[in-house]
Amino acid sequence: MKNIKQDLEKLEEVSFEIEKEAFRPKILHCSNCNVKMKQKEMEIQVGKDISIRLRGFECPKCSKRYFGLEEAKKLDKAMIMSRLLNDSFKMTRKLSYDGDNYTFRIPKEFTNDVTKKKIEIVPLGNRNFCAYVN
């Protein structure tokens, strides 16, 4: 188990551990209290603009939280997004409208080694989204 609190120094309200062996654990016991933890859906604030819903576990005794690896990866992406939104590096693209959809061009420097001609779009709230080549 790795305590990732060090990686999250700026996010004081976030404190939990990641069960490395369990990609999507079904049952977990608290390492402090040795009691069965409750499955819980949690909304975690990542930076000021982004919050993310994750399924994790919470100890009913000491309130310690755990996430499986899969959920931890989602949190990772959210943290990257938060960093991007707060960074000064930005690029402006012109939006075209075809009556149905908006389109914009992605600079080819961003698409090195792209073999799939598809991107994924993740909504981040009203008028905000993240598009990435997976």
Please tell me whether residue 59 binds Zn ion under the rule CB under 5 A.
Answer: yes
Instruction: Give how far the C-alpha of residue 68 lies from the chain's centroid of Cα atoms, to the nearest Å.
Output: 13
15, 24, 33, 110: which one contacts Zn ion (CB under 5 A)?
33
- 32 lies in the site for Zn ion, by CB under 5 A: yes
Among 62, 84, 106, 122, binds Zn ion (CB under 5 A): 62
Nearer to Zn ion, 6 or 34 (CB): 34
CA distance 108 to 110: 5
Buried b (16+ CB within 10 A) or exposed e, 100-126: eeeeeeeeeeeeeeeeeeeeeeeebee
In whole angstroms, the minimum distance from the beta carbon of 128 to Zn ion comes to 36
